[in-house]
Amino acid sequence: MQISNPLPSLALLRCFEAAAKHQSFTEAAEELGLTQGAVSRHVKELEEQIGAALFLRQGRGVGLTDAGRNLYRELTLDLGRLRQTIGNAVAAGSRKEVLSIAVLPTFGARWLIPRLTNFKSDKPDLELVVQSRTEPFNMVENAVDLAIHFGVEDWSGARLTHLCKEKLAVVAAPRLIDEFRLREPANLFHAPRLHLSSRPLLWDALRQTLPTVEGSLRTGSYFDQFSLLISAAVAGLGAAILPTYLIEQELQQGALAEITSVPDMQERSYFVAVPAGEIKPLTVQFINWIRKQVSPQLG
């Protein structure tokens, strides 16, 4: 009878995965709560068990060999499946369903989270694991069931379902509107303007509706998160272009007022992303639910 070779321990594999991901034993040690020496010893032990070098030592850094790259590619998938399997087992043991969701931070806080009670209303045993993400990532490796993505229809290793476009509007605090007479949109270009760092061209869209405006529209204050931009607009620091779904409460309470809509010049949309393989029925239920929550143009 053929005796199979013993598998390396999970501790060795986790050390290798972290070191390969960071291309650094030091950063892997920080992630795992170990010393750099411990990570180095675990990797060396794994190399001895496998019988192949996995890393090229390059000064203070490390790089993967061909064998290391192949192992890392397969191991990330296998560990992702293992995490999912364990999560499913825990859920089954407690008779609870678990749904892991990755969302854009402000989208999650201001739009999705307030609506999740509706989704959970007939699922008392449902447990949610919600994390914030802003860029595509390996969903299998991170054991995520679905993610909300804003951008173009491009995510390696995932299938995307289109949700909607977004409705943009120029808004400002009422006192700023009075001070700069912003009920006449042409006066916008004499008022302070607020920008989102990742979307510096939004103000240029107003040239379609106000073509006589000259000069740069990109001057003003910049913020790297929608939440900061919203707070700045409410504080009266300037006028901002914002997705209306993010400021439903501010508009209803009068903290912000809409000045004019913004022409849609974006090629980007909102999508639901799921891993490319088979997905569980609960994920399908969530996708069907969220598609009913949005109009063709969010907001």
Q: In this structure, what token pair is assigned to residue 63?
A: 């790089």
Closest CA to 134 of 185, 197, 202: 197
Residue partners of 121: CB distance under 8 A and separation at least 6: none
Is 289 in contact with 158 (CB distance < 8 Å)?
Answer: no
Residue partners of 143: CB distance under 8 A and separation at least 6: 80, 83, 84, 87, 100
Q: In what order do the strands lie in the sheet with 126-132?
A: 126-132, 97-103, 146-151, 269-275, 158-166, 297-298
Looking at per-residue pLDDT, the higher value among 2 and 286 belongs to 286
Is 269 in contact with 165 (CB distance < 8 Å)?
Answer: yes
What's the confidence (pLDDT) of residue 31? 85
Ordered by where they begin, the domains of the chain are 10-77 (1.10.10.10), 79-163+268-294 (3.40.190.10), 168-261 (3.40.190.10)
Q: What is the pTM of this model?
A: 0.66
Q: Determine which helix (DSSP H) or strand (DSSP E) holds 15, and give its type and residue range.
A: helix 10-22
CA distances (Å), origin 253, targets 8, 233, 257, 261: 59, 14, 9, 19
Q: In this structure, what token pair is assigned to residue 59?
A: 């000064």
Q: Is the pLDDT of residue 199 over 60?
A: yes
pLDDT tens-digit map of 95-116: 678 899 999 999 999 999 999 9
Q: Look over the chain and give the mean of its residue pLDDT values, rounded to a whole number.
A: 87
pLDDT tens-digit map of 231-281: 999 999 999 999 999 999 999 999 999 999 888 777 889 999 999 988 999
